[in-house]
């Protein structure tokens, strides 16, 4: 059995107890990637083996000396390719960042490295995190480890498929409109999008700055809590970073939901939700009720306005954030051009993919003279109303429960031709980003096709512990299902 | 379809966004944008009068840096990824203005 | 008969603030330095980098706002101004559009007619400067240097209240002096730390509506501003007279060729798509903060002008000259503080210093001598250690090399000789060597004594006490 079938915590423990060495963990991970990468394509870049082994040695030494004693010391981790890492190719899965090697490391990754985790490589994603399928990558689509004809979801598809395929034990993703929670659901793994401002965005290549958050992707709630605890920090380099309390997320890993009030929005179970998904999510709610949680259905309101508001805001910010990719300072420059503006246009038109161009165009349009009030300001006002709806809900409930996505993973190639349909798939996730809330997605069943279904728990701002505790309690009633690409996969999904 | 995007508008947005689209791409972009805007027009159903536009979810203000310089020569890192370098700077087509 | 026209002018003045670091990163703002040396991921627009606001920038902007009687916006924000240009690494400039830090102020200027008028200040906003484009001589390329990228600026936008180049210069002079007093910037036009863009339109005299305006850029001196205003006024009048329309556009002044040309191209849509920068949080300004900035505010030119007259009894003209540059005022106050002789300090500045500045084609800002040495020289003159002729000579050395006058006088042996015996000996020798003059004096030509005094002073190498020489001469001649 490969070590990648373990959880991060289990692997860290074996390393700490000298049952295995950091080198073995690294080698095993590299072997797993080598063996499975042809099938799933989770990675854009795998770090250089010699450099990794050297780092493994350093970490091993520090563990020996006792200077590194945390649970993630020596644990290999994969990082979504929109986080800058010094000396490591960073592409955002775009041709326009061809060959870009940053001179700085994202704060979240630095926090991991300080804890002794070893970055094994950069995972594939939708280009600039724009997409819900990981098919818009310039480096080819990623496949769903449960069924290679299906998408892994997106945009953190590579991180989620990597964990599900057991190429690595855990990963970092980023979530702007559901990009951690939705692919986690599709791949049968667990992912958290923390409260906005909890994890520094320094070094995260921006898509929608007011919505982007980095978060963990792992096999279980425990690993997610552990990783989130490690990457969260107040960072002076990020003005939107929050000085906040209660970052000891692992303290919430308690199998106890007695008296917890859980609101279930009727609006999340209406038209458009797949029947099997609905059933599985309701089943999960029932489990929590049986464990002592108090469930109540309610009307959340404004659910249908979240997607239009989200696309206006995200695309507007993206049109500005992605202006810097112009062929002057880094990345791709067109080979032939006439003059400055032609150089800009050609480099950008050749460097960006269709979906990115689509969103940049829309974003430029909604900010342009004469449309700013009608679109952009209106979207910001809608965002304020949506936040209010959530505030109202959280005055009554400790958390909100619902699906992470309206269906299980669609087939490869079935989404790109109808972008509107793809955007509508974000219905249960985007409002969480608009309101800055934390959300967790974890497996709660399989559909008849054998594809995982995800349960989403949404917490109030800064109340990650509530959703972590409930998710943990739910998880305690279930056993982890390894995907067909796992070494320990068994038909029927049991270990 | 309620929204009509003209050729001129697509051309204009291309200038703003510095994107050059082929004729086929333009047609597709027009259609996509019209569809999206029609969908976004759903926001018109809401009465948002009197609602303050919310750029930041949390009312955090006054995040500052002290005025203390770090004097490190950044030129090597700055130029490391540049597609074209000349005389220690980023080379671009001749630009006056 | 041709019609009468009125020129309507508003200014957008960019001032580089005197902070040590850039507005959104900790890179140095120092001039010089190798190309791209003062850069980091933030000011070169690297992906994933984030801006963090320099507090000092806000305080300088508030200080200028208070000095120009603006309202301070209690809740202000930064916006992104989106446009592509190679000197702009993110292809957006972080600036302020919707909620600028200061609004509704004004500066009082003297008009040509000798009256006073207020030029309104519409707003002052904070923003980042762009990098520099260096044009390669031999090739068809330009090279970008980001050393200036992210240097903090305030942009001071006036109302269209000026009607002539003279008013514009008066406004700029007043503004510059005020900002220099505040220490918020050195405001050097030539070096680009102060830049003025001129918005200008013309209309028939008496008309109520404004004409279509143009914006003129690249004005690097007061002279260029005056010339550009004249040129643009004439250009617009010519257009109107010949039945054409003035086009609203940005024009670039070429001072060498003394003409301007339109900068606009099809690719510059001038649609900046401003929106609040999501990477920065708002700035909330409390009463206490405003008061603490106000408390630190130094005395400004107008207040100083009044005080110099009332406290030191200086004539208005002198007080105006002394407060007219910050350097003069600084030296005046520091030297006066030491020697307690304001009128004498004023005199040295008004006469000898200005003379030497002119001779050396220097500005007051270029003065290098320290007030201590001027004060010492005044004391030396006052207590008779040196006479006034020697004092001027010593001052030249102070002016040039900031020498210590006490040491200098000692080393060069320039002390006035007050020894009556020694003086008498010299005078006797002079009389002996110039019998003709002695004769003339005795024959009633009183002027001849001047020549004899001069000869005696010369013999004493200028160090004699002239009063004593005079007395001794008279005494000996009357014998
Ligand atoms: Mg400006
Ligand atoms: Zn910098």
Closest CB to C47: pick one of A324, A328, A344. Answer: A324
The answer to whether position B23 is within a domain reads: yes
Phi (first) and psi of residue A303, to 5 degrees = -55, -40
Distance from Cα B79 to the centre of ligand 2, integer Å: 14
Contact partners, residue C16, CB within 8 Å, separation at least 6: C29, C129, C151, C152, C153, C185, C192, C193, C194
- Give the pLDDT of residue C136: 75
- Give the pLDDT of residue C448: 81
Please tell me the distance from the alpha carbon of residue A439 to that of residue C180, in angstroms, as a whole number.
Answer: 53
- Give the pLDDT of residue C1: 42
Token pair of C38 as six digits: 């003062």
**Record: contact C141-B61, CB cut-off 8 A:** no
- State the count of interchain CB pairs (< 8 A) between B and C: 137
- Give the pLDDT of residue C266: 67
What's the mean pLDDT in C39-46?
A: 98
Q: Closest residue of A to B60, CA-based?
A: A240
Residue A307 binned pLDDT confidence (cut-offs 50, 70, 90): very high
Give the residues across from C93 on adjacent strands. Answer: C81
- Res. C422: pLDDT tops 60: yes
The answer to whether position B15 is within a domain reads: yes
Q: Specify the CATH number for the domain of residue B28.
A: 1.10.20
Please tell me the distance from the alpha carbon of residue A391 to that of residue A386, in angstroms, as a whole number.
Answer: 9
B22 is in which domain, residue-wise?
7-44
> What's the full length of chain B, in residues?
97
- C420-477: what CATH class? mainly alpha
Distance from Cα C260 to the centre of ligand 1, integer Å: 21
- Res. A286: pLDDT tops 50: yes
- Residue C133 to residues C36, C138, C149, C150: CA-CA distances in angstroms? 12, 15, 11, 15
The answer to whether position B18 is within a domain reads: yes
> What's the full length of chain C, in residues?
479
**Record: contact B56-C281, CB cut-off 8 A:** yes
Phi (first) and psi of residue C366, to 5 degrees = -85, -5
- Res. C364: pLDDT tops 90: no
Distance from Cα C147 to the centre of ligand 2, integer Å: 8
The whole model's pTM is what? 0.92
Number of separate domains in chain B: 1
Say if residue C436 is exposed, middle or buried (CB neighbours under 10 Å; 0-12, 13-18, 19+).
Answer: exposed
- Res. A492: pLDDT tops 60: no
Interface of A with C in 232-251 (CB under 8 A): 236-240
Give the residues across from C284 on adjacent strands. Answer: C75
Please tell me the distance from the alpha carbon of residue C88 to that of residue A196, in angstroms, as a whole number.
Answer: 29
> Which positions in chain A touch C278 (Cβ < 8 Å)?
208-210, 240, 317
- Give yes or no for B86 touching C (CB within 8 A): yes
> Which positions in chain A touch B72 (Cβ < 8 Å)?
none
In percent, the amount of chain C with pLDDT more than 90 equals 74
DSSP single-letter state for residue A372: I
- Give the pLDDT of residue C458: 82
- Give the pLDDT of residue C43: 98
**Subunit partners of chain A (3 or more CB pairs within 8 A):** B, C
Quick: pLDDT tens for A231-284: 999 999 999 999 999 999 999 999 999 999 999 999 999 989 999 999 999 999
**Burial readout A356-387 (b: 16 or more C-beta within 10 A, e: otherwise):** bbbbbbbbbbbbbeebbebbbbbbbbbbbbbb
Distance from CA of C90 to the nearest CA of A (A): 4
Contact partners, residue A224, CB within 8 Å, separation at least 6: A190, A191, A192, A215, A216, A217, A218, A440, A468
Residue to test with chain B: of A361, A419, A438, most B Cβ within 10 A: A361
Residue to test with chain C: of A90, A235, A328, most C Cβ within 10 A: A328
Contact partners, residue B74, CB within 8 Å, separation at least 6: C27, C36, C37, C38, C39, C40, C44
Distance from CA of A218 to the nearest CA of C (A): 24
- Give yes or no for A367 touching C (CB within 8 A): yes
> Which positions in chain B touch A312 (Cβ < 8 Å)?
40, 43
- Give yes or no for A307 touching C (CB within 8 A): no
**Record: contact C135-B94, CB cut-off 8 A:** yes
**Subunit partners of chain B (3 or more CB pairs within 8 A):** A, C
Q: Closest residue of A to C142, CA-based?
A: A340
- Give yes or no for A97 touching C (CB within 8 A): yes
Quick: pLDDT tens for C118-154: 999 999 999 999 999 998 777 789 999 999 999 999 9
Closest CB to C91: pick one of A209, A238, A323. Answer: A323
Q: Closest residue of B to A416, CA-based?
A: B32
SS3 C182: helix
- Res. C39: pLDDT tops 70: yes
Ligand found nearest the CA of C124:
1
The answer to whether position B14 is within a domain reads: yes
Q: Closest residue of A to C86, CA-based?
A: A328
- Give the pLDDT of residue C463: 77
Rg (CA), chain B: 23
Question: What's the N-to-C CA distance of chain A in angstroms?
Answer: 12
**Record: contact B65-C284, CB cut-off 8 A:** no
Token pair of C41 as six digits: 């991921």
Distance from Cα C36 to the centre of ligand 2, integer Å: 10
Distance from Cα B60 to the centre of ligand 2, integer Å: 24
**Record: contact B81-A101, CB cut-off 8 A:** yes
The answer to whether position B27 is within a domain reads: yes
The answer to whether position B29 is within a domain reads: yes
Quick: pLDDT tens for A429-454: 999 999 999 999 999 999 999 999 99
Task: Look at A164 and C428; give whichever has higher pLDDT.
Answer: A164
Task: Tell me the residues of C at the A interface, defined by beta carbons under 8 Å apart.
Answer: 41, 44-53, 80, 82, 84, 86, 89-92, 144, 265, 267, 271, 273-275, 278-281
In percent, the amount of chain A with pLDDT more than 70 equals 99
Question: What's the N-to-C CA distance of chain C in angstroms?
Answer: 84
Distance from Cα C274 to the centre of ligand 1, integer Å: 12
Give the residues across from A82 on adjacent strands. Answer: none
**Record: contact B63-C20, CB cut-off 8 A:** no
> What's the full length of chain A, in residues?
495
Distance from Cα C144 to the centre of ligand 1, integer Å: 20
Listed range (A21-30, A32-41, A180-189, C110-119) with the worst mean pLDDT? C110-119
How much is the ipTM here? Answer: 0.97
Please tell me the distance from the alpha carbon of residue A201 to that of residue C50, in angstroms, as a whole number.
Answer: 8
- DSSP line for B81-94: T-SSEETTEEEEE-
Q: Mutual orientation of helices C326-339 and C165-182 as an angle, nearest 10°?
A: 40
Residue to test with chain A: of C40, C43, C50, most A Cβ within 10 A: C50
- Give the pLDDT of residue A494: 42
Residue A144 binned pLDDT confidence (cut-offs 50, 70, 90): very high
Residue B97 binned pLDDT confidence (cut-offs 50, 70, 90): low
- Give yes or no for B20 touching C (CB within 8 A): no
**Record: contact C50-A201, CB cut-off 8 A:** yes
Quick: pLDDT tens for C442-476: 888 878 888 888 888 888 777 777 778 888 888 88
Could you list the active site residues of A? 80, 155, 179
- Give the pLDDT of residue C431: 85
In percent, the amount of chain A with pLDDT more than 90 equals 95
Closest CB to C34: pick one of B56, B88, B90. Answer: B88
Task: Give the β-pairing of A439-446 and A452-459.
Answer: antiparallel
C110 half-sphere exposure, CB direction, 13 A CA radius: 6
Mean pLDDT score of chain A, rounded to an integer?
96
- Give the pLDDT of residue A268: 96
Residue to test with chain B: of A211, A306, A336, A365, most B Cβ within 10 A: A365
Please tell me the distance from the alpha carbon of residue C107 to that of residue C95, in angstroms, as a whole number.
Answer: 23
Residue C240 binned pLDDT confidence (cut-offs 50, 70, 90): very high
Interface of B with C in 42-61 (CB under 8 A): 55-56, 60-61
Sheet holding A170-175, edge to edge: A43-46, A118-123, A76-80, A170-175, A213-218, A190-193, A439-446, A452-459, A399-403, A261-265, A294-298
- Give yes or no for A322 touching C (CB within 8 A): no
What's the mean pLDDT in C381-389?
A: 85
- DSSP line for C358-409: HHTT--GGG----HHHHHHHHHHHHTTSS-HHHHHHHHHHHHHH---HHHHH
- Res. C478: pLDDT tops 90: no
Contact partners, residue C464, CB within 8 Å, separation at least 6: C387, C416, C417, C423, C426, C456, C457
- Res. A495: pLDDT tops 80: no
Bond before A324 cis per omega within 30 degrees = no
Closest CB to B42: pick one of A304, A330, A344. Answer: A304
| CA dihedral of C48, C49, C52, C53, whole degrees rounded to 10 | -120
Please tell me the distance from the alpha carbon of residue A122 to that of residue C320, in angstroms, as a whole number.
Answer: 68
Q: Closest residue of B to A318, CA-based?
A: B17
Closest CB to C281: pick one of B61, B67, B71. Answer: B61
- Give the pLDDT of residue A394: 98
Closest CB to B63: pick one of C82, C271, C281. Answer: C281
Cβ-based neighbour number of residue A437 at 10 Å: 26
Ligand found nearest the CA of C52:
2
Q: Closest residue of C to A316, CA-based?
A: C275
- Give the pLDDT of residue A46: 98
Please tell me the distance from the alpha carbon of residue A143 to that of residue A42, in angstroms, as a whole number.
Answer: 8
Phi (first) and psi of residue C330, to 5 degrees = -60, -45
- Give the pLDDT of residue C107: 97
Is residue A299 within 8 A of residue A267, CB to CB? The reply is yes
What's the mean pLDDT in A214-238?
A: 98
**Record: contact B75-C36, CB cut-off 8 A:** yes
Ordered by start, the domain boundaries in chain C are 5-289, 299-412, 420-477
Say if residue C163 is exposed, middle or buried (CB neighbours under 10 Å; 0-12, 13-18, 19+).
Answer: middle
């Amino acid at each position: 059995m490969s070590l990648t079938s373990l959880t991060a915590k289990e692997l860290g423990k074996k390393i700490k107890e000298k049952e295995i060495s950091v080198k073995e963990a690294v080698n095993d991970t590299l072997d797993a990637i080598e063996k499975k990468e042809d099938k799933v394509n989770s990675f854009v870049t795998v770090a250089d083996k010699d450099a990794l082994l050297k780092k493994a040695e350093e970490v091993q030494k520090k563990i020996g000396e006792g200077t590194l004693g945390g649970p993630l010391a020596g644990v290999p981790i994969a990082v979504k390719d929109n986080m800058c890492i010094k000396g490591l190719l960073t592409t955002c899965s775009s041709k326009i960042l061809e060959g870009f090697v940053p001179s700085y490391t994202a704060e979240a990754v630095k926090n991991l490295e300080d804890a002794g985790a070893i970055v094994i490589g950069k995972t594939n994603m939708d280009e600039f995190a724009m997409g819900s399928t990981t098919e818009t990558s310039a480096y080819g689509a990623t496949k769903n480890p449960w069924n290679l004809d299906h998408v892994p979801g997106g945009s953190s598809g590579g991180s989620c498929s990597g964990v599900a395929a057991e190429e690595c034990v855990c990963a970092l993703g980023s979530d702007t409109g559901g990009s951690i929670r939705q692919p986690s659901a599709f791949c049968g793994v667990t992912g958290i999008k923390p409260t906005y401002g909890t994890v520094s965005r320094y070094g995260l290549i921006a898509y929608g700055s007011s919505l982007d958050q980095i978060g963990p992707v792992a096999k279980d709630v425990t690993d997610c809590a552990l990783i989130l605890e490690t990457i969260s920090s107040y960072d002076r380099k990020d003005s939107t970073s929050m000085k906040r309390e209660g970052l000891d997320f692992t303290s919430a890993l308690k199998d106890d939901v007695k008296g917890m009030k859980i609101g279930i929005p009727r609006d999340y179970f209406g038209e458009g939700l797949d029947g099997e998904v609905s059933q599985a999510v309701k089943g999960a709610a029932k489990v929590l009720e049986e464990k002592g949680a108090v469930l109540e259905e309610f009307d959340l309101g404004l659910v249908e306005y979240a997607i239009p508001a989200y696309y206006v805001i995200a695309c507007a910010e993206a049109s500005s954030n992605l202006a810097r990719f112009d062929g002057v300072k880094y990345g791709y420059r067109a080979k032939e051009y006439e003059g400055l503006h032609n150089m800009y246009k050609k480099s950008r038109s050749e460097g960006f993919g269709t979906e990115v161009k689509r969103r940049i165009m829309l974003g430029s349009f909604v900010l342009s003279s004469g449309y700013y009030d009608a679109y952009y300001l209106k979207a910001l006002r809608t965002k304020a109303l949506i936040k209010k709806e959530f505030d109202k809900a959280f005055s009554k409930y400790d958390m909100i429960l619902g699906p992470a996505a309206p269906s299980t993973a669609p087939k490869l190639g079935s989404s790109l031709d109808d972008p509107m349909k793809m955007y509508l798939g974000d219905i249960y996730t985007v409002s969480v980003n608009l309101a800055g809330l934390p959300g967790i997605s974890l497996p709660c069943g399989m559909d008849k096709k054998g594809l995982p279904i995800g349960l989403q728990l949404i917490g109030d701002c800064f109340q990650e512990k509530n959703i972590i505790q409930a998710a943990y309690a739910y998880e305690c009633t279930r056993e982890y299902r390894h995907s067909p690409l796992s070494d320990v996969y068994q038909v029927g999904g049991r270990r | 379809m309620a929204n009509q995007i003209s050729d001129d508008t697509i051309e204009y947005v291309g200038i703003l966004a510095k994107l050059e689209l082929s004729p086929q791409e333009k047609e597709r972009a027009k259609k996509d944008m019209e569809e999206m805007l029609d969908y976004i027009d759903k926001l018109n159903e809401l009465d948002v009068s009197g609602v303050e536009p919310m750029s930041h979810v949390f009312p955090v203000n006054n995040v500052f840096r002290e005025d203390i310089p770090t004097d490190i020569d950044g030129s090597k890192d700055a130029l490391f990824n540049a597609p074209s370098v000349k005389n220690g700077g980023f080379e671009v087509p001749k630009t006056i203005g | 008969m041709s019609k009468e026209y009125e020129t309507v002018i508003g200014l957008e003045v960019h001032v580089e603030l005197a902070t040590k670091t850039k507005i959104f990163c900790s890179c140095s703002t120092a001039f010089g330095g190798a190309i791209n040396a003062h850069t980091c991921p933030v000011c070169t627009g690297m992906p994933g980098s984030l801006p963090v606001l320099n507090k000092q920038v806000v305080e300088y902007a508030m200080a200028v706002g208070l000095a120009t009687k603006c309202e301070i916006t209690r809740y202000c924000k930064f916006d992104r101004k989106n446009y592509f240009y190679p000197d702009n690494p993110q292809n957006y400039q972080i600036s302020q559009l919707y909620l600028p830090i200061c609004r509704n102020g004004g500066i009082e200027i003297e008009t040509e007619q000798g009256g006073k008028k207020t030029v309104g200040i519409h707003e002052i906003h904070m923003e980042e400067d762009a990098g520099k484009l260096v044009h390669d001589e031999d090739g068809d390329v330009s090279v970008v240097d980001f050393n200036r990228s992210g240097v903090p600026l305030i942009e001071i936008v006036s109302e269209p209240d000026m009607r002539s180049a003279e008013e514009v210069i008066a406004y700029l002079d007043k503004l510059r002096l005020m900002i220099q007093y505040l220490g918020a910037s050195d405001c050097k036009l030539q070096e680009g730390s102060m830049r003025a863009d001129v918005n200008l339109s013309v209309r028939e005299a008496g008309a109520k509506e404004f004409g279509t305006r143009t914006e003129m850029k690249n004005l690097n001196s007061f002279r260029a501003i005056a010339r550009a205003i004249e040129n643009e006024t004439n250009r617009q009048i010519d257009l109107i007279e010949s039945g054409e329309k003035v086009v609203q556009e940005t024009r670039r002044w070429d001072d060498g060729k003394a003409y301007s040309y339109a900068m606009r191209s099809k690719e510059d849509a001038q649609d900046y798509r401003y929106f609040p920068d999501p990477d920065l949080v708002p700035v909330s300004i409390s009463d206490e903060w405003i008061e603490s900035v106000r408390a630190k505010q130094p005395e400004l030119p107008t207040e100083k002008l009044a005080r110099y007259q009332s406290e030191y009894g200086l004539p208005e003209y002198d007080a105006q000259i002394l407060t007219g540059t910050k350097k003069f005022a600084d030296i005046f106050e520091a030297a006066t503080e030491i020697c307690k002789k304001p009128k004498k300090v004023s005199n040295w500045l008004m006469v000898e210093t200005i003379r030497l500045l002119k001779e050396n084609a220097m500005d007051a800002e270029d003065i290098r001598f320290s007030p201590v040495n001027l004060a010492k020289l005044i004391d030396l003159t006052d207590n008779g250690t040196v006479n006034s002729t020697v004092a001027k000579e010593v001052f030249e050395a102070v002016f040039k090399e900031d020498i210590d006058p006490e040491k200098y006088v000692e080393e060069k042996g320039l002390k006035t000789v007050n020894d009556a015996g020694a003086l008498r000996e010299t005078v006797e020798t002079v009389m002996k060597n110039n019998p003709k003059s002695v004769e003339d004096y005795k024959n009633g030509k009183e002027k001849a004594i001047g020549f004899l005094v001069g000869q005696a002073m010369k013999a004493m190498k200028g160090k004699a006490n002239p009063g004593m020489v005079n007395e001794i001469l008279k005494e000996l001649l009357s014998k």
